[in-house]
Structure 1
Amino acid sequence: MNQSEAASPPNPKGPVTARYAIIVAGGSGTRMGADRPKQFLALAGEPVLLHTLRRFADPALGISELVVVLPAGQLETWQALCAQYAVQIPHALVVGGATRWASVRAGLTHLADQEGGVVAVHDGVRPLTPRAVIEATYQAAHNHGAAVAAVVPKDSVRNLSQQGSYALNRARLRLVQTPQCFSLALLRRAYQLPELSTFTDDASVVEDLHPIQLVEGDYRNLKITTAEDLYVAEALLRSEVSL
């Protein structure tokens, strides 16, 4: 190790570059059996999306700009909820597209005037992401260009084949979460490519251009998809408050 390496702190305590966040919320709530999109459902008395936004508005993260991407037909609902709950968190509201890919691209377009930095893309219905996971993912993207939060599967996993199924090595598998953080320039370059059906998340858009660094996620960082997820999120929030 040379002298300059020895002098460098291993874990910088503040933002080392400009940080942005694109929160994508385009769900319909169909699988929830709800009368409204899942990002607007009440979680501990407030909309799910507000909980998510609050996680990224934490001043300790040093995020310069928050962008919320919603379908055109949901903007007025969100604006009304912001008024109802007196939301004071500064954020830009952007109209999304027909797919998640198109919505992320719309969020990037809003950041067109920014020259550099690291951008996080996050699911609007992941309202419990620990600050440590967000910070670690931003930092890893600063160091490596692209980073994704992920966890080891808890259950055994099998792959289907024409002959039946076979077990996979769980230790070599990861369940991908968000945030997914990237150099802003890299993510822009990736989203200039045509949309493909194989794109399931932002990492799949970027991976042909750049290796993806994995960051340890958190099992509490659940994505609210079903009614059961909402019950679990309520319990987790209560446990946070009691700590």
Structure 2
Amino acid sequence: MKKGGLRALVDQPGGARTLILVRHGESAANVAASAAEAAGAEIIDMPVRDADVPLTTTGTEQATALRRWFDSRPREEYPDSVWVSPYRRAAETAGIALAGRPGDRRLVTDERLRDRELGVLDLLTHRGVEHRLPIEAARRRRLGKFYYRPPGGESWADVALRIRSFLAVLDADDTGPTALVVSHDAVILLFRVVCEGLAEPDALRLAATDPLLNGSITRLVRPDQGAPWQVDGYNDVSHLLTAGADVTSHTSKDDDVLPF
């Protein structure tokens, strides 16, 4: 790599050349799911549907730390377009994080960025799936989390198809050089899978060894449209540490049965 490294790539002309991927702040469902798993419960106590789950106080603090980070960016590094999952926890994160510079940025809510649909596994813990849906538990073990599709839900591969569709639109649209995506951990992981062409074992290894943290920042860059994306930072929470915000994960080896 020549002098300037990956960051120098964003100075070259072309379409969207930097993708900033942000996982939403801690949500009420994150806390409820972790508590249910720890208690050995079968059902997650969450009265609202997944799309309506709000941030916790900690999640709001994490989004505020993101705002401080964005406010500290020079103009050329600030997002030209913002693409947000329609789910409340992502929309709240984006609203807080970008409140400091209303300016002329373009904000688009895109349903392709929503969290993975869990279908019949919705609100079930790992124990709940094993006890109440043993056939599905066996199917999931046989197929693996990348290809297992719960009835009424999606596999990781299904979500990857959504991301491919989104990236095609991003390439066709006049988004400006820097695009921000505020979404969910499985979605952001699968951005890397699609953009880097990762195989199933690599995706599973990445999920197991470096689970995405709430409010984390991931950067992908490329020199111009059509060039391969490269990672220029993954799962970074230094902005949370600087702001004194709690760092939370709420992921596990059974992340395919937990709502994120």
State the structure with bigger RCO (CA 8 A, min sep 6), 1 or 2.
2
- In terms of fraction of residues, the more strand-rich structure is 1
- In terms of fraction of residues, the more helix-rich structure is 2
Q: Using structure 2 for the length normalisation, give the TM-score.
A: 0.35
Q: Using structure 1 for the length normalisation, give the TM-score.
A: 0.37
